[in-house]
Amino acid sequence: MKTKTLKGGAFIIEDQDLNSFYAPEMLSEEVQQFSEMISDFVEKKVKPNFDKIDKGAHDLVVSLLKEAGELGILSASLPEEYQGLNVDFHTESIISEQVGKAHSFSVALAAHTGIGTLPILYFGNSEQKSKYLPGLGSGALLASYCLTEPGSGSDALGAKTKAVLSEDGKHYILNGQKMWITNAGFADVFIVFAQVDGDKFTGFIVEKGSEGLTLGAEEEKMGIKGSSTRMVFLENVKVPVENLLGEIGKGHKIAFNVLNIGRYKLCVMAMGGAKETFNHAVRYANERIQFKIPIAKFGAIREKIADMAISIYATESATYRTSGLIENQIQELTSNGMDKTSAKLEAAEEYSIECALLKVIGSETLDLVVDESVQIYGGMGFSEESPVARAYRDSRINRIFEGTNEINRLLGVGTLAKRAMKGELDLQSPIKAAMGDLMNMDFSEVSGDLGAEKKSIANAKKAFLIIAGGAIQKFGLEFERQQEIIMKLSDIMIDIFAAESILMRVEKKIQTSGLEGAAHDINILKVFLYEAMDRIYMKGKQAIHSSQEGDQMTMMLMGLKRFTKYESINVVETKRAIAKIYIEKQAY
Amino acid sequence: MKYLVCISKVPDTTAKISFKNEDKEFNSDGVTFIMNPTDEWYALVRALELKEASGGQVTVINVGPKDNEKFLRSAIAIGADDAVLIEANEETESYYIAKNIAKYAQENGYNFVITGKETISFNSFSLGGMIAEFMDLPFINQATQWMLNGEVSTIYKEIEGGEEVLEVTGNCVISAQKGMAEQRLANMKGIMMAKTKPLAIIPIALGEEKVQVSQYQVTPPRGNCKMFTLDQIDELVQALQSEAKVI
Ligand SMILES: Cc1cc2nc3c(=O)[nH]c(=O)nc-3n(C[C@H](O)[C@H](O)[C@H](O)COP(=O)(O)OP(=O)(O)OC[C@H]3O[C@@H](n4cnc5c(N)ncnc54)[C@H](O)[C@@H]3O)c2cc1C
């Protein structure tokens, strides 16, 4: 079957072919077996140790990481020539989802397999790969990633750590400080970024035990207390020239590329955590009796359950859609002769806009879920006796690391604009068309299954385009400085991406289970859209009021109103129906 | 040595249990099934350990609907060499299942047939004994340890207040319980390899269900239970007086 692939970021101007859409319901039996196996590992090996891990038992984290290595979890995405399992991208997704339930341990594992291992996999030369990858895959070696410094976090390239070639040309001498380094306490391998000749940002592989490499004390953190986070000090550390990673001055490529996949995986892990916390909350709501009935019977609680479930469903739809886009791209590139590792790197870069948006979606869904779950638990939620207290503390970091959510929102819109400027995406014509539609009244009837929903999403894209187009026209090169407007555009993009992902998942569901079989999914779609269109209207209005004037403003506001219209639904009844399903199932 | 390990599926331990068809049938709607823990953790893993120590073949077998294939695949992922599914309706009737397994074991020259002590769903404890009877072999029930030296099996069993150590020469049927082995998680490689190992689906040979369930009954839930520790005697007395009002 010929399917057109959707380029990265193009979802905002085009429709994706349903044949190329990937839904979580399509995960193969083998992938589900991986999922069960990893879930078993987390349940039986990690969960009983949550308390000990959070009290600082890093040796336990290390032994569990090694156990994960034996099970193949750490080497799953590595190529076979380095004793990896070379799994497909959906399997990588499911691993992250299940590992995401493991609190501090999940952070240790993700930092090791992601930002710790990937720089060597993607940018190491063959000697470096042979030397480190088998050990990193088995857990014999554990890795950390040292980018952030006291003076440079979001502004990662502003790092001050220096690397100077020794006189005999055999070593680089590294001097500087790194901060907030996950896994620092037990890492054998430190991926360190430093400036060569003062301004050539470059990656290095530094080994534990190198003279001059020392660690600060463990940070006292708000959450993920069991994850080792320390400063790393480099004082005249001699790093053999063979350990230079990639090319001199190309460190930014390493730093940013591993973050694309990192952001995607952070989203999937957050979703796994959200499902787990949701399950606790629903069970508690069924068990807790007040005023002689289970609190799950109160509308206020039911609405929370529905809101959480809808948010998880949206995240899941957007996540697996992206998993599908990336996997399709990997397959296309490998069938053209590219090796799989390069293909994965390139695919993740292609979908870097989606990865940035997902990072925001996943971490904010988790924050919603842990917050409402604590609320459902009431006083018990404030007690360390309940599982949701830990979930609440551990959630918050996700909006900060792997690029703060502000940085990722800026990236979503910024990368889109950049691609348009480079001519890789044609934003100009769709903006023109949408502007044209401002004048044309649209009397077309909606028809077919989900006709209203499809039309609303198409219109929401027009809303995005007129606001973005209008703001770019108004501010020109100054657009980049209008962060308040960019934040709003980003939020609109997120709503569109999520809504369309839900829509396509529902369409697939209707294909396999019919309208009746998809009734619950359709309810979720309706409520999500109903609320999303209001959000888009509100954000859009603020953006237009703040960027336009006179007739243009009036016309755009009228258009926005038209473009964000959706059916009137009985949102209370629909949410009740949604919540009922989960309350009966006692799980997501 | 050839080991035949019987694998059944059971509802997940957290499943909500209900019945349908006038309480004659288990309602499996929305229930997730897992491999029966005693089959998986003890019978299968011990057979694998013995095979790893002195060679042989471990086959897993199930009598049931085609869907059960996935439990056999999971068993292969843990390490079994191959699998056999004798296709039948839902598995409820031990006699019918035992007869088919015995026939397969006999025809294919298995030395040992191993089951879990019981299924955690129907808890009938009966399959192993029946298989042994059909095969005319000794049956060792609820074994906690099993060593194999040449032809001779040394098997430990718990008995009231102590332990019994048995020596069995030659082929036998064993039901395994806690102590026999430690649970093994499948690893990812095992799961990937499982696709490539043989899984035969054969039609049921002897189909005669002798026992029929006429009704299931759910025991009424226990009343609220309150736990007291040894140092809470005063609270206990207080509760018996004022809450339970029995003293
Ligand atoms: C527990 C933990 C583990 C970590 N692990 C690692 C690790 O393993 N390796 C590593 O290298 N780093 C790690 N980090 C660092 C992390 O990536 C940074 O904290 C993060 O990138 C933010 O940088 P910062 O803390 O310096 O915040 P800042 O950059 O100072 O940001 C402060 C605020 O300003 C906003 N802001 C900054 N710049 C802009 C801008 N241009 N426009 C708009 N808003 C802006 C931010 O969004 C944020 O709200 C970790 C951090 C923590 C807390």
Mean residue pLDDT across chain B:
89
- Locate the chain B residue with the closest alpha carbon to A69: B187
Burial per residue of A184-196, b for 16 or more beta-carbon CB atoms within 10 angstroms, e otherwise: bbbbbbbbbbbbb
pLDDT digits over A510-527, tens only? 999 999 999 999 999 999
Closest-CA distance, A247 to chain B, in angstroms, reads 34
Helix residue spans in A2-49 (DSSP H): 29-41
Whole-Å CA distances, A259 to A262, A351, A411, B216: 5, 12, 12, 56
| Residue B92 confidence (pLDDT) | 63
Instruction: Please give the pLDDT value at position A1.
Output: 38
pTM of the model: 0.90
Closest CA to B90 of B216, B217, B213: B213
Give residue-wise pLDDT tens across range A145-158. Answer: 999 999 999 999 99
- Percentages of chain A per state (helix, strand, coil), in multiples of 5: 65, 10, 25
Res B220 pLDDT > 90: no
Cα A554 to Cα A243: distance, rounded to the nearest angstrom: 60
pLDDT at B229 (0 to 100): 82
- pLDDT above 50 (res A9): yes
Amino acid at A415: T
Ligand 1 atom at shortest distance from the alpha carbon of A148: 11
Q: What is the pLDDT of residues B160-209, one digit of tens each?
A: 889 999 999 999 999 999 999 998 989 999 999 998 999 999 988 876 67
Residues 6+ apart with CB under 8 A from A288: A294, A295, A377, A378
Q: Is the model's pLDDT at A506 over the cut of 70?
A: yes
Q: How many CA atoms lie within 13 A of A484 on its CB side?
A: 9
A87 φ, ψ (degrees, to nearest 5): -75, 165
A230 pLDDT more than 80:
yes
Ligand 1 pocket check: which of A112, A191, A401 to mutate, most ligand atoms within 8 Å of Cβ?
A: A401
- In this prediction the ipTM stands at 0.81
Backbone angles phi, psi at A349, to 5 degrees: -70, -40
Contacts of A202 (CB under 8 A, 6+ apart): A163, A193, A194, A195, A196, A244, A245, A246, A247, A248, A249, A250, A251
What DSSP letter does each residue of A182-240 carry, written as one string? Answer: ETTTT-SEEEEEEEETTTEEEEEEEETT-TTEEE-PPP--SS-TTS-EEEEEEEEEEEE
List the one residue out of A144, A146, A179 whose CA is nearest residue A61: A144
- What is the pLDDT at residue A336? 94
Answer yes or no: A567 catalytic. no
Please check the confidence at residue A476 and state whether its pLDDT lies above 80: yes
Q: Is A400 in the pocket of ligand 1 (CB under 6 A)?
A: yes
B238 or B124, higher pLDDT: B238
In single-letter form, the type of residue at position A265 comes to K
CA dihedral of A243, A132, A179, A170, whole degrees rounded to 10 = -10
pLDDT band per the 50, 70, 90 thresholds, residue B230: confident
Ligand 1 centroid distance, CA of A207 (Å): 25
The structure tokens listed for A512 are: 């396999």
Q: Can you tell me which atom of ligand 1 is nearest the CA of A147?
A: 11
Provide the shortest C-alpha distance from residue B159 to chain A (in Å): 30
Residues of A in contact with B70 (CB under 8 A): 29, 33
Instruction: Tell me how close the Cα of B142 comes to any Cα of chain A, in angstroms.
Output: 25
Report CB contact under 8 Å: A33, B70: yes
Cα separation, B109 vs B185, in Å, equals: 29
Q: Which residues of chain A are within 8 Å of residue B30 when distances are taken between CB atoms?
A: 585
Residue of B nearest to A70 (CA): B187
Total CB pairs under 8 A between chain A and B: 41
Q: How far apart are CA B59 and CA B80, in angstroms?
A: 6
- The reply to whether ligand 1 has any atom less than 6 angstroms from the CB of A193 is no
Q: Which of A393, A540, A486, A553 is nearest to A54 (CA)?
A: A393
Domain ranges of chain B: 2-222
In this structure, the dihedral spanned by the alpha carbons of residues B129, B131, B132 and B133, taken in order and rounded to 10 degrees, is: 90
State if residue A481 touches ligand 1 by the CB under 6 angstroms criterion. Answer: no
Q: Calculate ∠ Cα A372-A374-A376, nearest 5°.
A: 70
What's the pLDDT at A176?
98
Q: How far is the CA of A259 from the centre of ligand 1 (A)?
A: 13
A236: pLDDT strictly greater than 90: yes
Flag whether pLDDT at A303 surpasses 80: yes
Q: What is the mean pLDDT of chain A?
A: 96
How far is it, in rounded angstroms, from Cα A340 to Cα A6?
Answer: 20
Query: Under a CB-based contact definition with an 8 Å cutoff, are residues A487 and A409 in contact?
Result: yes
- Shortest-distance atom of ligand 1 to CA A224: 1
Task: Say if residue A138's pLDDT is above 80.
Answer: yes
Overall size of chain A counted in residues: 588
β-sheet bridge partners, residue A513? none
* 3-state class percentages of chain B: helix first, strand second, coil last, to nearest 5: 30, 30, 40
Kindly list the distances between the CA atom of residue A249 and the CA atoms of A255, A342, B165, in Å, as whole numbers in the listed order. 12, 20, 72
**Residue B112: which of B57, B178, B30 has the closest Cα?**
B57
Q: Which of A276, A316, A372, A402 is catalytic?
A: A402
Pocket probe mutation, ligand 1, options A115, A154, A411, max atoms within 8 Å of Cβ: A154
Q: State the pLDDT confidence band at B238, using cuts at 50, 70 and 90.
A: confident
The residue behind tokens 């499809």 is A454
Q: Is A229 in the pocket of ligand 1 (CB under 6 A)?
A: yes
* Segment among A232-236, A418-422, A566-570, B23-27 with least mean pLDDT: B23-27
**Cα A482 to middle of ligand 1, angstroms:** 21
User: Would you say residue A269 has pLDDT above 90?
Assistant: yes
Query: What is the CA(A446)–ligand 1 centre distance, in A?
Result: 46
pLDDT band for A4, please (50, 70, 90 cuts): low
CB-CB neighbors (< 8 A) of B185 in chain A: 37, 40-41, 44, 71
Comparing alpha-carbon positions, the chain A residue that sits nearest to B185 is A37
- In terms of DSSP bridges, do strands B112-116 and B172-176 run parallel, antiparallel, or are they unpaired? parallel
Q: Where does residue B125 fall: left (phi above 0), alpha (psi -120 to 50 degrees), or beta otherwise?
A: left
In this prediction, residues A259-270 reach a mean pLDDT of: 96
Which residue's alpha carbon is at the smallest distance from atom 53 of ligand 1? A180
Q: How far is CA A446 from the centre of its chain?
A: 34
> How much is the average pLDDT of A436-462?
89
Do the Cβ atoms of B30 and A585 come within 8 Å?
Answer: yes
At residue B153, what are phi and psi to the nearest 5 degrees?
-95, 135
Cα A359 to middle of ligand 1, angstroms: 14
- Return the higher-pLDDT residue of A570 and B64: A570
| Beta-strand relationship, A162-165 and A189-196 | parallel
pLDDT at A2: 41
Mutate which of A201, A396, A400 for ligand 1? The one with the most ligand atoms within 8 Å of its CB, which is A400
pLDDT at residue number B23:
84
- Return the higher-pLDDT residue of B51 and B34: B51
pLDDT of residue B125: 76
pLDDT exceeds cutoff 80 at A122: yes
Determine whether the interchain pair A33/B185 forms a contact, defined as Cβ–Cβ distance below 8 Å: no
Q: Which residues of B touch A90 (CB under 8 A)?
A: none
Picking from B74, B191, B193, B196 by the largest number of A CB atoms within 10 A of its own CB, the best residue to mutate is: B191
Average pLDDT over residues A215-230: 98
Nearest CA in chain B to A68: B187
Complete DSSP assignment for A508-575: HHHHHHHHHHTHHHHHHHHHHHHHHHHHHHHHHHHHHHHH--HHHHHHHHHHHHHHT------HHHHH
Whether residue B189 lies within 8 A of chain A, CB to CB, comes out as yes
- CATH number at B2-222: 3.40.50.620
Q: Is A170 exposed, middle or buried (0-12, 13-18, 19+ CB in 10 A)?
A: exposed
pLDDT at site A528:
98
CA of A47 to the centre of ligand 1 (A): 29
pLDDT band per the 50, 70, 90 thresholds, residue B242: confident
Tell me, rounded to whole angstroms, the distance of Cα B149 from its chain centroid: 25
When pLDDT is cut at 50, 70 and 90, the band that residue B65 belongs to is very high
Q: What's residue B96's pLDDT?
A: 86
Whether B223 has a pLDDT exceeding 60, the answer reads yes
- Residue B192 contacts A, CB cutoff 8 Å: yes
Does ligand 1 have an atom closer than 6 angstroms to the CB of A228?
A: no
User: Who wins on pLDDT, B96 or A373?
Assistant: A373
Gap between the Cα atoms of B38 and B112, Å rounded: 17
Q: Do B195 and A585 touch (CB under 8 A)?
A: no
Report whether A141 contacts A135 (CB < 8 A): yes
For residue A246, report the distance from its CA to the centre of ligand 1, in Å.
24
Give nearest CA residue, ligand 1 atom 32: A154
- Considering chain A, what percentage of its residues have pLDDT values greater than 70? 99
Q: For chain B, give me the number of helices (H) and strands (E)?
A: 7, 13
A271 residue type, one letter: M
Mean pLDDT across A194-221: 97
Distance from CA of A288 to the nearest CA of B (A): 14
Cα–Cα distance, A235 to A238 (Å, whole number): 9
Parallel, antiparallel or unpaired: strands A171-182 and A213-215: unpaired
Q: Is the pLDDT of residue B28 over 90?
A: no
Structure-token pair, residue A114: 């992601």
Tell which wins on pLDDT, A93 or B20.
A93
